[in-house]
Structure 1
Amino acid sequence: MVLAILKSLARVLSTIISTVIAFLIYGWRPRNPVPPVQNSLLLMSGTTLARKIRNREITSVEVLKAYINRIQEVEPIINAVVCDRFDEALKEARYIDKVLDSGNVPAYYSREKAPFLGVPFTTKEAFAHKGMTNTSGLVSRKNMLCTKDAAVVARMKEAGAIPIAVTNCSELCMWYESSNFIYGRSNNPYDARRIVGGSSGGEGALHAASGTPIGIGSDIGGSIRMPCFFNGIFGHKPSSGIIPNFGQFPMATGKRNDFLSTGPMCRFAEDLEPMFRVLAGEEGLSKLKMDTTVDLKSLRYFTIVDDGDAGYCSRVSQELRDAQAKAAKYIEESLNVPVVKTMVHRLRLSLPIWSAMMSKHGEVSFTDLMTDGGPQVYPAWELLKWVFQLSNHTLPAIGLGIVEKFDEMMMSKDLQERLCKASDKLRRDFEELLGSDGVLLYPSHPKVAPYHNSPLFTPMNFAYTGIFNMMGFPVTQVPLGLNADGVPLGVQVIALTHNDHLTMAVARKLEEAFGGWKEPV
């Protein structure tokens, strides 16, 4: 009882502090959303662009120039792109147009082998692109250039897509605000005072600002889903082990590689599955049922409105509860099926489970990653340096290093094992609930995109996404329109492992009612 009271008091205090500070710092500033889109090419899905390029209704060069111009227009506001290859991309687009105009199209440019021929794409900077930076915001890697492509980058190139830029992320991809001491802080296209999420935050912001049609993120605690939620776009965290993670920095090792997922990010739901197929490849797709026709009326639907008020996270706001309820109501009325409101009580342990699983399977510590092969980093010393603006590391990274050391001292092996067993039990709870034909609606985050720096006072709120990395379940992030302040709403759609086709099908259905991505106004 005492612990519960203390948790509640801490949550109330953090909410008050973050609200007051946000008002003092940002309350008087203008929202400064990105300017409206003028070029209609920027309002087409990647799938549509690919079809029109192949049919010679438009050229790849036209599309590339439209996106390059848009990036240059919105970058002063959102600061999302950290390295580009515009000149090289235009050369590749010209070559593709030349081949298509010749009428002598080689087999590797066929519709089946190159479904995104001539379409630009981006990724978070954590993915290796030959000749481009791959720092993940770590100052010691500032001048490092890649010599080869990450696995998923290579697959997108084989599919005919043209890389144009890489985007900002949080330092070492382990915080949910994308800011670092190399590239600075990225800003939300709907309200520049707000965060873009992390770690794939620059990617999410660039999509929402119509600066890229399709892109790739990665997710070990919500790093695809939170940016997609905060920026009002679609994203998919695949089932564990479907899409290769190779070629990222930092790279998850051992069991943590099962927690990390690489997946698509986009503005239009119709791009999710084609991108997913490219990224998964034949080996990944062989484990799934992507060719199965989904009868949405035959599925079973559930909704859970919060984690049971465990006290670690902020309470889910009423506007997000209402948006999720509207999504459930639409499913009920349009499909004539019930959406059952339920609760899985072990969700109250989401944060402790995530922490225990990451700690148990941490072959490389976060502090070791901060060194990147250089001199040992001491988080407490870095904190003192940070106070005097002498540290090369951000406060969240330093804080995580300190928390990691604290966890090592405070979390006994017995407690760690009990939490890992609780993870197994939670997985069984979901298996009993969902089976092979069930999907779940669950909050993406307790609040809409918060103001900059506010996550420092609510660091545990990622638990709403992080728990599903431990489960290995597929999750599709779905936008549900904008709130009264013009900030995106959304919901997670979850199914059991290897049922990615179900969550993406439900995402397409919800797009019909809620309109998917909405242009910032």
Structure 2
Amino acid sequence: MAPLSLLEKAQVWLFKAVFGVLFALFRLLSPQRPVMSGKKLPPISNPLLFVSATQLAKKIRRKEVSSVEVVRAYIDRIQEVNPFVNAVTKDRFDAALQEATQVDKLIEEETGGEEVLEDRLPLLGVPLSVKESFALQGMPYTSGVVSRRGVVATVDAPVVALLKRAGAIPIGVTNTSELCMWFESHNHLHGITNNPYDLERIPGGSSGGEGSILGAAGSVIGVGSDIGGSIRMPCFFNGIFGHKPTPGVVSWENQYPPCTGRHQEYISNGPMCRYAEDLLPMLEIMAGPKAHMFSLDTKVDLKKLRFFTIPHDGGFPLSYPISKELMDIQRKVVERLEADLGVQVQEVCFPELRYSFQIWNTYMGLTDKEGKPPQSFAELMGEPGRPVWPLWELLKWMMGKSEHTMAAIGLSLLEMTHVSKPSPFIIQQKEKLQKEVDELLGTDGVILYPSHPRVAPKHHHPLFRPFDFAYTGIINILGLPVTQCPLGLGEEGLPLGLQVVAGKLQDHLTLEMALYLEKTFGGWRDPGAN
């Protein structure tokens, strides 16, 4: 394998050097956060919060519980936990209760029976949280950018509209990283979001508010987006399920920032939830008229699948090695698969995975078919005005005058180092990896792969570990479906988990694996019970 050129090595070194300096500055100049040590969420007291969305909808249709009762239970839980986690940035509680009242009235008046309601409105009366970067009519639509303060969505994003049309009731919008391009959900408009299992740790990003409120049992189902791991990292850190679909099926329209360059080839919008059985019906609804492309009605026999495990990326020098507890839990998954299903799980290695970050970074910067590059981060930070000057923003930040986070400023600074011509070596590595992985998976293969090198890090530590997202980012560039599955809690009481990857449009395979892993390892755990 050809080594990186001196220029490519210099670029990688520069990435680490810049973020190292920024992290040091942050530690030196930032005010101390309030001490959260020892504080924990209250345990769940309402049994409705332990019921999946699928089962809640069934209970509501059968009049075993009212939609008002369910929505009220989740409103009460949000009011109880949000002061701890700061996940919900704007609620619509009054409107949600009114809509729930209408649902209960509709059920009373329905003469066609439960089956008619299930077919037409499969999520009728079930509360839903929405990542704030999606347009939800009448709600803030800022993606954490101070200059967009006051921007309110006038329409619903297609995925939101489809879920509402299926009967789901939005109860609020949730926090993101600034402009959705960092794996800590922190911005100067809505503040910082905490992990429900340890308030001193991050919930991930950019769908971190979703991950946090779902993990805290303040929501049962939610909507996330993922272009580098923004569904999977929050799901991993918060101990819940999430699915990044095969791209190009679920609509990516009406979210901010918009897709430019070739980003639409790598972004996927998908479901986030606490219970595995909710993944498939949510995905089917979110895909709308294209749902048939996923073959979700195909029955899956896990015993007939081919299983592979990749324990690590081969050793990218600037990312942390996989921790022992994450390697151990992946090994336990392998052992259970072999014991329960009678299958052979083959360990495989792809040397090209060492270049996951460079591959992701290169392909995210490619021009579209018309030769237009993606919109620059500096431009997005300045909208609706002029692009920001990164060095000037850094100086302002050092004086406490910048409206932007250190992560956003760092990304805009790194953008200045981007070379216009992609590295032939990196392109070659991606194409080789794509061919090998596609051939390995086919239509009946499943890969187990780590989600992240470590469990949820402490606040702001990603500034010193900026490359660790490569474990999720590479799957976006390969265009593969992947389900994030929780696997219990680790040594520090923090969630463990892994990614389950399948071939293109074989989403039904990973969703079936999620059901198996939930049954085998217990799925989501109440953070208040730790």
TM range (shorter): over 0.9
Which one-letter code corresponds to 2:224 in the other structure?
A: G
* Compared CA separation, residues 322 and 146, structure 1 to 2 (3 A): same
Partner of 2:85: 78
Which of 387, 401, 407 is residue 412 of structure 2 equivalent to?
Answer: 401
The corresponding residue for 1:132 is 139
d(CA) in 1 for partners of 2:189, 2:304: 50
Q: What residue in structure 1 maps to residue 100 of structure 2?
A: 93
Counterpart position of 1:413: 421
Report what 1:371 is aligned to: 382
Give 1:476 deviation, angstroms: 0.1
Q: CA deviation at 1:431?
A: 1.3
| Divergent runs of 4+, >4 A | 1-7, 24-29, 105-109
Residue 508 in 1 paired to residue 519 in 2? no
| 1:476-491 matched pairs, under 5 angstroms | 476-491=483-498
- CA contact 2:236–2:496 (8 Å) conserved in 1: yes
Work out which of the residue numbers 385, 391, 399 in structure 2 matches 1:388.
399
1:357 shift after superposition: 0.4
**1:253 shift after superposition:** 2.5
Q: Cα deviations across residues 390-438 of structure 1 (Å, max 9, x unaligned)?
A: 011111001100101112xxx36151x4423322221101012222111
Q: Return the match for 1:299 from 305, 326, 333.
A: 305
Shift of 1:368: 1.2
**Structure 2 counterparts to residues 439-478 of structure 1, below 5 A:** 439-478=446-485
Q: Does 1:357 align with 2:357?
A: no
Q: Secondary structure at the match of 1:190?
A: coil
Distance 1:26 1:328, change over 3 A: farther
Corresponding residue number in structure 2 for 1:348: 354
Which residue in 1 is equivalent to 2:370?
A: none
User: Does 2:346 match 1:335?
Assistant: no
What secondary structure does 1:473 align onto? coil
Match of 2:236 in 1: 229
**Percent of residue pairs identical:** 50
- Alpha-carbon distance, 1:102 to partner: 2.3
3-state DSSP of counterpart to 2:230: coil
Q: Which amino acid aligns with 2:358?
A: P
Counterpart for residue 254 of structure 2: 247
CA shift digits 1:169-219 (9 cap, x unpaired): 000000000010011000010000000000000000000100001011000
Mark the runs of 5 or more structure 1 residues left unpaired by the alignment.
none
**Counterpart amino acid of residue 497 in structure 2:** G
Match of 1:62 in 2: 69
Match of 1:146 in 2: 153
TM-score for both structures, normalised by structure 1:
0.94
TM-score calculated relative to the size of structure 2: 0.92
Q: Deviations along 1:73-129, whole A, 9 cap, x unmatched?
A: 001100000011100110010011011112346999721121000001011100001
Q: Please list, as runs of the form range in 1=range in 2, the aligned pairs for 1:267-346 lying within 5 A after superposition.
A: 267-283=274-290, 285-346=291-352
Within-5 A mapping of 1:413-432: 413=421, 415=423, 417-432=424-439
CA contact (8 A) 2:380 2:387 kept: no
Map of 1:36 onto structure 2: 43
Distance in 1, matches of 2:460 and 2:298, equals 44
* Aligned residues between the structures: 510
Query: Does the Cα contact within 8 Å between 1:150 and 1:248 map onto a contact in 2?
Result: yes
Structure 1 counterpart SS, 2:294 = coil
Counterpart AA for 1:299: L
Equivalent residues of 2:481, 2:501 under 8 A apart: yes
CA distance in 2, matches of 1:153, 1:412: 36
Q: Write the letter of the residue equivalent to 2:320.
A: S
CA contact (8 A) 1:31 1:193 kept: no
CA contact (8 A) 1:117 1:161 kept: yes
Q: Distance in 1 between matches of 2:41 and 2:163?
A: 28
1:315 corresponds to which letter in structure 2? Answer: P
Unpaired stretches in structure 2, ≥5 consecutive residues: 368-372
| Contact residue 320 and residue 490 of structure 1 kept, 8 A | yes
Deviation at 1:482, TM superposition (A): 0.2
For residues 148 and 412 of structure 1, the distance between their equivalents in structure 2, rounded to whole angstroms, comes to 36
Q: Aligned partner of 1:490: which letter?
A: G
Deviation, 1:363, is 2.5
Q: Is the 8 A contact 2:36 2:199 kept in 1?
A: no
- Partners of 2:114 and 2:450 in 1: CA distance: 44
CA contact (8 A) 2:390 2:409 kept: yes
Please provide the CA RMSD for this pair.
Answer: 2.5
